[in-house]
Amino acid sequence: MIDGCYWHGCPLHGNIPRTNTDYWAPKIARNCERDTDTDRRLEEVGWLVVRIWEHEDPEEAAQRIQCAVLERRPT
């Protein structure tokens, strides 16, 4: 999954807007809670969740995904 830094509360780039904070702070918090819940549900049924932040280098992200796939392949 690719998460947007703004919408998903990136620890490096996420921030709460200065206007309409009463709306945006809970909205972004709910997004983070939903992400955690989604990860948990997918992992419970055997999926490996690989979250990529939008600011990550695409080549490095692809390498991370490739490694995750190769590690899970049966030998």
Look up the pTM and report it: 0.83
Place of tokens 């830094």: 5
Best CA proximity match to 28, nearest among 52, 4, 54:
4
Farthest-apart Cα atoms in the chain, separation: 54
Domain boundaries, the chain: 2-72
20-69 pLDDT, tens digit per residue, is: 999 999 999 999 999 999 999 999 999 999 999 999 999 999 999 999 99
DSSP character at residue 47: P
Q: What fold characterizes domain 2-72?
A: Endonuclease; Chain A (3.40.960)
Q: Is 20 helix (H, G, I), strand (E, B) or coil?
A: coil
pLDDT recorded at residue 14: 84
